[in-house]
Amino acid sequence: MGPRRSHRKSRNGCPQCKARKLKCDEQYPCTNCTKHAIQCSFVERGVSTPTGTPYTRPESLAPPYVPSPLNVESYPATPAGNSRALAHEQPKAESRSGLLQFLADSPGEIPALNTDDWVSDLELMHHYCTVTCNALTIREDSRHIWRVVVPVEGYSNKYLMHGILAISALHRAYLFPTQKEKNIKASSYHQAAALKEFRELISSPIDPSNWQPVFCFASMITLYICATRIRLGEDRWPAPISNMVELFSAVTGLQTIMEPWLPSLRRTQLAPIVNCVWIEDETLIPSPGTMQQSLLPPDIHVRISQLHQFIDDYPFSQMQQPQSHQNFSVSNESPRAHDYRTDYKKSLKFFEHSTRQIELAGPHVESGMVLLWAYSLSKQFRDDMEAFHPAALVMLGHWCVLLHTINDSWLLKGTSLQLLEEIEIKIHPSFREWLVWPRRWVFGK
C-alpha cells in the first residue's frame, strides 16, 4: 500500500468565499473574488499582491472606468480598500420606499404548493434554461447571462433560484393557457419564498460578497412586476396607471439599493445585461441605415421639443387644480413651482436618453431601453401620475409611444394601448389635444 496522501484542506480561505460557500484558492486576492469583482479581504488586510499572478493584472492594463448606464450622472467610484465603509452607506429613503412598499405588500406566508416531488421544479428550470432565458432579451451575449450565469448564482443563493422558477412559471402560464392556473400558483409559491428571504437580506446593507446575486434578483423583481396581468390571470392590467407607477417605484428603489455597486457592473460577468440596454459610447458611429429602421416615429424629436415648451409654460404654481393650457403663466413663480419644473425637465431629459437608445437599436429594441426612463422619476413625479395631474399624464402618454416599440414582449404585450386608454379617460379634457400625437402612433389613428 502506498503512502497516505497528506491533508490538504485549509480553513484559511477569505471570508467572502466562506460566505458564498466556495472553495478559496488563497491567492492574494483570491480567484473567486477577482472573478466576481469583489473586494477580497486578503487585500484589505494589506497583503500585497504577488507580481505575475495569473489572476491579477498591472494597473496600467486594467479596463477603463465606464460610468453606469443606469444613470447619466456617473456614480462615485468605489474607494480602494474602503469597501466596508461603502457597504454601510444607506440608500436614499425616498427612492427606497417604493421597493419596500412592494415587498411589504407581498405575502408574508408562503402559499401551499400541491406537489409530491421535485419534478415540477425541474420542469420549470428546464423551461427557463431552454425557453424563458431567450425571451428576456434579444442579444445572444445577454441571453448567455440569463441562461448560464444567473442560474449559477442561484445555486448558492436560494432566493435567486426561487426567483428564477417564479419567472419560468409565469412564462409557462403565458404560453400554455390550459396550464395557467397550475403555473400561476407555482409562481406565487416561488416568489413568496424568494421575497421572504430577500426581505431579510436587504434589511442590512448590501456587501461585496452578495451584491451580484442581489442585482440578479432585483432584475427578476422588475420582470415579475411587468408580468402583473399574467400573474393575475387576466388579459388586461387592473389599473394601468397605478400598476405602472408601482413598476417605476420598484425600479427606482432597486437602483437606489444597488447604487454603490453599479459602477463595478461593467467590469463583471454581468456586463452584457447592461450593455444591451445602453449601447451608446464614444466609439459608436450611428448608422443611417439603423436610424432609418427605428421603430420610433420620424418626428419624435420635433415632439420632444414641443414637450420642452409645454413644461416651460406649464403653471406648476397651480398644480393643485388642473388648469387649461390657455391660462399658462410662469410669472412670479414660487420656489416650489420652480422645483416642480426642474423635476419635470429632468424627467424629459431622461426621456430623450431613452429615445436615443431605442433609435440606435433600430428594430432590435430591448425592454430595458424603454424602462430606462423610470430611473429618473422622483417620488413627486410618480405621485403626480397617480393623482392624474395633467403634466405628468401628458408625459406618460408620450412614453406610451416608446413602450409600444416592445408591444410584442410577452411581459408587456398590449400595455401601451391599455395605459394610453386610461390616460385619455383620467386627464383633464382641456389637455386631451396633447394625446392626439401619442394616440396616432399607438393606436394607428
Per-residue pLDDT tens digits for 288-339: 666 678 999 999 999 999 999 999 999 987 664 444 444 444 555 677 888 8
Q: What percent of the chain has pLDDT over 70?
A: 69
Higher-pLDDT residue of 111 and 30 is: 30
* Tens of pLDDT, residues 40-87: 654 433 333 333 333 333 333 333 323 333 332 322 232 333 333 333
Q: What is the mean pLDDT of residues 152-177?
A: 96
Taking the C-alpha atoms of residue 390 and residue 433, their distance in angstroms, rounded to an integer, is 12
- With cut-offs at 50, 70 and 90, classify the pLDDT of residue 211: very high
Residue 279 has pLDDT above 90, yes or no: no
* Contacts by residues 303-306 (CB-CB < 8 Å, ≥ 24 positions apart): 303/398, 303/437, 304/348, 304/351, 304/352, 304/355
Q: How many CB atoms lie within 10 A of CB 383?
A: 13
> Residues 6 or more apart from 204 whose CB is under 8 A from it?
none
85-89, 151-155, 332-336, 342-346: segment of lowest average pLDDT: 85-89
Taking the C-alpha atoms of residue 352 and residue 354, their distance in angstroms, rounded to an integer, is 5
pLDDT on residue 248: 94
Q: How many CA atoms lie within 13 A of 45 on its CB side?
A: 10
Q: What is the CA radius of gyration of the chain?
A: 24
pTM: 0.74
Closest Cα to residue 171, out of 129, 111, 216, 117? 129
Taking the C-alpha atoms of residue 390 and residue 150, their distance in angstroms, rounded to an integer, is 41
User: Could you tell me if 267 and 275 are in contact, meaning their C-beta atoms sit under 8 angstroms apart?
Assistant: no
pLDDT on residue 416: 97
DSSP class of residue 147 equals I
User: Could you tell me if 337 and 320 are in contact, meaning their C-beta atoms sit under 8 angstroms apart?
Assistant: no
User: Could you tell me if 50 and 25 are in contact, meaning their C-beta atoms sit under 8 angstroms apart?
Assistant: no
Q: What is the mean pLDDT of residues 341-364?
A: 92
Instruction: Give the 3-state secondary structure of residue 81.
Output: coil
**Could you tell me the residue ranges of all domains in the chain?**
13-38, 106-235, 299-314+340-443
Residue 237 has pLDDT above 60, yes or no: yes
Amino acid of residue 413: K
53-57, 141-145, 157-161, 250-254: segment of lowest average pLDDT: 53-57
* Contacts by residues 307-316 (CB-CB < 8 Å, ≥ 24 positions apart): 307/348, 307/351, 307/394, 307/395, 307/398, 308/345, 308/348, 310/391, 310/394, 310/434, 311/341, 311/344, 311/345, 311/348, 311/391, 312/341, 314/341, 314/344, 314/391, 316/340, 316/341, 316/344, 316/391
> Residues 6 or more apart from 291 whose CB is under 8 A from it?
359, 360, 362
